[in-house]
Amino acid sequence: MEPYNCIIIEDEPLAAEILQDYISDVPFLRLKKTYTDAISALDDLSANDVDVIFLDINLPKLKGLDFIQTLKNPPHIIITTAYHEYALQGYELNIIDYLLKPIEFSRFLKAINKLKQLNPGPSITAAVSTPLGKDYMFINASKKRIKIYFRDILYIESMKEYVRIFTPDKVITTKFQLGQIEEQLPKSDFLRIHRSFMVAREKIDAYTSTEIEIQGKQLPIGRSYKEQVTEFLNLI
């Protein structure tokens, strides 16, 4: 599918940087430009080359909600603001979603999934892709797609909005949840041992009733995972 062309209209540099980072981690979003005020964005909009606007409300020159009302055929709009009191007015203007700052990546993805429901296509989890029959996957990290061979993975750790993938020589961090990564891995080679940890079965060096050790790192066995982990460990 063709990516959605996006613009950001945001006058706070840090907030704009966060949105730029989030957009770069979603394969079917393409950031065209970032503006610090709404009026400067009109040229792009007049060319009908914008599919989605990430729009702040409290902007110089022209407020975000007033700006929406000036548009005859507005693209999809996702509000990003620190002010909750304008939510109803925003939805009356047919926005896709209303995101309150500070915006977490998981909340950003929910907004993008609402957009996807209007225009069905590849799942959001395409940001982690596994070619059919291959022994590797590609991960979005550091604003590029990085190939990771399954055989190189020692273990994977969830860090709320991030996942860290440990290999013998590096750690790769990506903004996705452990469950999304788990769906891409061959189940015969990896074992979920905790809500925050997944391990490569062949990389287990030692274990106790409460921990698994991989290359000197002790990883906890979660209470709700203990039965399936114990069942597996009794087989090796």
pTM higher than the cut 0.85: no
The CATH number of domain 128-233 is 2.40.50.1020: yes
Tokens coding 210: 């409460």
**Per-residue pLDDT, 126:** 45
Question: What own/partner pairs with CB < 8 Å and gap ≥ 24 does 109-113 have?
Answer: 109/26, 111/78, 112/26, 112/29
- Amino acid, res. 228: Q
Domain boundaries, the chain: 4-122, 128-233
**Per-residue pLDDT, 202:** 92
CA 127 distance to own-chain centroid: 8
Mean pLDDT on 60-77: 91
User: E strands within 160-208?
Assistant: 162-166, 171-174, 190-194, 197-200, 206-207
Its CATH class, for the domain covering 4-122, is alpha beta
% of the chain beyond a pLDDT of 90: 45
Q: Facing residues of 200 across strands?
A: 190
Cα separation, 80 vs 108, whole angstroms? 10
Mean pLDDT on 162-191: 86
**Per-residue pLDDT, 47:** 66
pLDDT band of residue 6 (cuts 50, 70, 90) is very high
CA angle 127, 133, 136 (to 5 degrees): 50
